[in-house]
């Protein structure tokens, strides 16, 4: 304990005197100086400690656990309907794309992906093929898992073209609605939807165009890989490189097994069916290119 110059005791837990000058006058004199002691009241609550690292890490899990308990019936229903992976992956994709484009465009883009994948699902079920619900992967699009492959290249081509066909209709719906509501957002979604489906028609596996090209002529695979190499050189990005690596591996495997009797039977497609697939494939590609040109929004300086 110490004393200050005025004979007042000042303990270690107390703040030093605060001298307050008067509101008026040229300056304070010794007798005009005042002070105020402000010790911490004994009844005051102690300061809160900062939450530790474990507390911060545990908070999301506690929140998730609360949601699971509150909405366990709805979550159980999702599991039962086998839509849990689709719902979670959709939300994850929307969240990732929202950080880039904002949530309205992110939501529309993921819904266009869903429409595209539904085209594959509908055709697979029409053929009696068991498939999973669509699963979304940020920056890589979406896909379905097939538990059984089509019986031949003709059926595989129809399954592959189902996605771009329905996906193009979804983009066309955005185009039509953009005119009704005078919405640049819907017009941009239409353009991106047309581009997405046109890109998927590149004649390389794992893209839809590569599976459709199997029913036209295998030489289209070489054209597709060459075109993708040019794209990767002009505009290099990780997604193109991943697709190029997968396409090269698939092309190598197909080339090795091209003379096997099973493979020859798989790719044995009649001339009429080849013509039908070629007309759908090239016709859709031309329409998508025209639609992209019509929905392109020019930036004004």
pLDDT of 130 above 80: yes
The residue length of the chain stands at 301
Given this model, what pLDDT does residue 61 score?
Answer: 46
Model confidence over 232-245: pLDDT tens digits?
888 888 888 888 88
Closest to 205 (Cα-Cα) out of 184, 183, 182, 222 = 222
Q: Where are the domains of the chain?
A: 66-148, 154-301
Q: Of the candidates 103, 74, 286, which has an alpha carbon nearest to the alpha carbon of residue 198?
A: 286
∠ CA 194-287-133, nearest 5°, is 45
pLDDT tens-digit series, residues 62-75:
544 554 455 544 44
The pTM for the full model equals 0.68
At which residue do the structure tokens 């719902």 appear?
87
Q: How far apart are CA 132 and CA 146, in angstroms?
A: 7
Residue 44 pLDDT: 42
- Within 102-237, residue ranges assigned H as helices are 103-126, 153-181, 184-199, 208-213, 219-234
């Amino acid at each position: 304990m110490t004393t200050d110059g005025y004979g007042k005791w000042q303990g270690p837990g107390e703040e030093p005197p605060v001298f307050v000058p008067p509101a008026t006058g040229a300056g304070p004199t010794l007798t005009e100086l005042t002070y105020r002691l402000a010790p911490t009241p004994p009844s005051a609550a102690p300061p809160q400690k900062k939450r530790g690292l474990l507390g911060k890490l545990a908070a999301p899990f506690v929140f998730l656990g609360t949601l699971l308990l509150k909405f366990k019936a709805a979550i159980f229903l999702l599991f039962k309907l086998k839509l849990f992976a689709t719902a979670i992956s959709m939300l994850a994709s929307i969240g990732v794309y929202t950080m880039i484009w904002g949530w309205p465009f992110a939501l529309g883009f993921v819904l266009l992906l869903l429409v595209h994948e539904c085209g594959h699902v509908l055709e697979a079920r029409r053929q009696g093929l068991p498939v999973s619900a669509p699963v979304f992967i940020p920056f890589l699009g979406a896909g379905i898992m097939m538990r059984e492959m089509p019986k031949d290249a003709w059926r595989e081509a129809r399954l592959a073209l189902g996605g771009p066909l329905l996906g193009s209709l979804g983009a066309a719906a955005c185009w039509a609605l953009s005119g009704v509501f005078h919405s640049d957002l819907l017009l941009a979604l239409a353009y991106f939807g047309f581009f997405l489906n046109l890109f998927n028609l590149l004649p390389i596996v794992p893209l839809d165009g590569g599976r459709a090209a199997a029913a036209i002529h295998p030489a289209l695979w070489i054209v597709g890989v060459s075109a993708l190499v040019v794209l990767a050189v002009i505009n290099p990005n990780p997604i193109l490189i991943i697709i190029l690596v997968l396409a090269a591996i698939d092309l190598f495997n197909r080339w090795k097994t091209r003379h096997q009797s099973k493979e020859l039977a798989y790719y044995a497609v009649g001339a009429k069916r080849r013509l039908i697939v070629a007309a759908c494939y090239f016709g859709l590609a031309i329409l998508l290119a025209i639609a992209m040109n019509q929905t392109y929004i020019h930036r004004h300086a």
